[in-house]
Amino acid sequence: MAKRIIVALPGDGIGAIVLQQAVRVLDAAGFDAEYIYGDIGWEFWRKEGNPLPQRTLDLIEKHKIALFGAITSKPNDEAKAELAGELQGKGFTYSSPIVGLRQHFNLDICVRPCKSYKGNPLNFIRRGRGNTIEEPLVDVVIFRQNTECLYSGVEWTNPPENVYQAFMTHPKFRQNFGKVPVEELSLSTRIFTWKATTRILLAAFEYAHNYGYKSVTVCEKPNVIRETSGLMWKLAKEIQQSKYPDIKLLNTNIDAQMMWLTKNPEDYGVLVAGNMFGDIASDAFAGLIGGLGFACSAQFSSDGIAVFEPTHGSAPRYAGYEVPIINPIAMIESACMMLDHLGEKKICQSIRRSVADVIREGRVRTYDMMKMKGSPDVINNGAASTVQMTNAIIEGLK
Ligand code: NAI
Ligand code: MG
Closest CA to ligand 1's atom 16: 293
Q: What pLDDT, on a 0 to 100 scale, did the predictor assign at position 58? A: 98
Residues 66-87 have a mean pLDDT of: 93
Pairing of strands 155-157, 296-300: unpaired
| H or E segment and range at residue 144 | strand 139-145
Residues 272-292 have a mean pLDDT of: 97
| DSSP codes joined into one string, 262-304 | HH-GGG--EEEE-HHHHHHHHHHHHHHTTGGGT-EEEEE-TTS
Query: Do 129 and 263 have their domain in common?
Result: yes
Cβ proximity of 187 and 156 under 8 Å = yes
Q: Does residue 114 sit within a domain?
A: no
Q: What pLDDT, on a 0 to 100 scale, did the predictor assign at position 232? A: 98
The set of residues, in sequence order, having a beta carbon less than 8 Å from that of 320 and lying 6+ positions away, is none
Query: Do 203 and 274 have their domain in common?
Result: yes
The set of residues, in sequence order, having a beta carbon less than 8 Å from that of 219 and lying 6+ positions away, is 252, 253, 254, 257, 271, 272, 273, 277, 278, 281
Distance between Cα 311 and ligand 2 center (Å): 7
Segment 25-41, tens digit of pLDDT: 999 999 999 999 999 99
Find the ligand nearest to 285 CA: 2
Residues 96-115 have a mean pLDDT of: 94
Predicted TM-score (pTM) of the model is 0.95
Query: Do 375 and 333 have their domain in common?
Result: yes
Find the ligand nearest to 275 CA: 2
Segment 44-62, tens digit of pLDDT: 999 999 999 999 999 999 9
Query: Do 184 and 195 have their domain in common?
Result: no
Query: Do 179 and 264 have their domain in common?
Result: no
Residue 167, pLDDT above cutoff 90: yes
| CA 200/CA 272 separation, integer angstroms | 7
Secondary structure (3-state) at 65:
strand
Residues 293-316 have a mean pLDDT of: 97
Angle at 112 between CA 107 and CA 117, to 5 degrees: 155
Q: What pLDDT, on a 0 to 100 scale, did the predictor assign at position 331? A: 98
Backbone angles phi, psi at 113, to 5 degrees: -75, 140
Residue 120, pLDDT above cutoff 70: yes
Q: What pLDDT, on a 0 to 100 scale, did the predictor assign at position 102? A: 92
Distance between Cα 16 and ligand 1 center (Å): 13
Find the ligand nearest to 290 CA: 1
Instruction: State whether the Cα torsion 104-302-39-319 is positive or negative.
Output: positive
Closest CA to ligand 1's atom 17: 293
Distance between Cα 244 and ligand 2 center (Å): 30
Residues 164-183 have a mean pLDDT of: 97
Q: Does residue 293 sit within a domain?
A: no
| CA 275/CA 193 separation, integer angstroms | 12
Q: What percent of the chain has pLDDT over 90?
A: 95
Residue 91 CB neighbours (<10 A):
6
Query: Do 48 and 195 have their domain in common?
Result: no
Query: Do 23 and 144 have their domain in common?
Result: no
Q: Does residue 5 sit within a domain?
A: yes
Radius of gyration of the chain (CA): 22
- The residue among 140, 167, 188 that closes a domain is 188
- Which residues are near ligand 1 (CB < 6 Å)? 70-73, 98, 292-293, 309, 312-317, 326-327, 330, 368, 374
Q: Return mean pLDDT, the chain.
A: 96
- The residue among 236, 256, 288 that closes a domain is 288
| CA 350/CA 346 separation, integer angstroms | 6
- Of the residues 74, 283, 292, 333, which should be mutated to test ligand 1's pocket, given the most ligand atoms within 8 Å of the CB? 292
Query: Please, which residues have CB less than 5 A from ligand 2, an ion?
Result: 279
Q: Does residue 344 sit within a domain?
A: yes
Domain count, the chain: 3
Q: Does residue 249 sit within a domain?
A: yes
Closest CA to ligand 1's atom 38: 313
Distance between Cα 193 and ligand 2 center (Å): 22
Q: Residue 64 region, left (φ>0) first, then alpha (ψ -120 to 50), else beta? A: left
Confidence of residue 152 (pLDDT cuts 50, 70, 90): confident
Closest CA to ligand 1's atom 9: 315
Closest CA to ligand 1's atom 7: 292
Distance between Cα 283 and ligand 2 center (Å): 6
- Closest ligand 1 atom to the C-alpha of 96? 34
Backbone angles phi, psi at 94, to 5 degrees: -80, 135
CATH code for position 93: 3.40.718.10
Angle at 60 between CA 79 and CA 40, to 5 degrees: 20
Query: Do 245 and 179 have their domain in common?
Result: no
- Of the residues 42, 82, 283, 314, which should be mutated to test ligand 1's pocket, given the most ligand atoms within 8 Å of the CB? 314
Residue 99, pLDDT above cutoff 90: no
Distance between Cα 312 and ligand 1 center (Å): 4
Torsion of CA 251, 187, 172, 147, to 10 degrees: -30
| CA 386/CA 391 separation, integer angstroms | 9
Query: Do 101 and 196 have their domain in common?
Result: no
- Closest ligand 1 atom to the C-alpha of 310? 41
Q: What pLDDT, on a 0 to 100 scale, did the predictor assign at position 398? A: 79
Q: Does residue 34 sit within a domain?
A: yes
Query: Do 58 and 170 have their domain in common?
Result: no
Residue 330, pLDDT above cutoff 80: yes
Backbone angles phi, psi at 288, to 5 degrees: -75, -20
- Closest ligand 1 atom to the C-alpha of 328? 18
Residues 166-182 have a mean pLDDT of: 97
Query: Do 282 and 162 have their domain in common?
Result: no
Q: Does residue 380 sit within a domain?
A: yes
| CA 40/CA 53 separation, integer angstroms | 7
Confidence of residue 1 (pLDDT cuts 50, 70, 90): low
- The residue among 136, 168, 188 that closes a domain is 188
Q: Does residue 26 sit within a domain?
A: yes
Q: What pLDDT, on a 0 to 100 scale, did the predictor assign at position 176? A: 97
| CA 92/CA 43 separation, integer angstroms | 14
Distance between Cα 383 and ligand 1 center (Å): 19
Backbone angles phi, psi at 174, to 5 degrees: -55, -45
Query: Do 146 and 162 have their domain in common?
Result: no
Q: What residue numbers bound the domain in which 174 lies?
A: 155-188
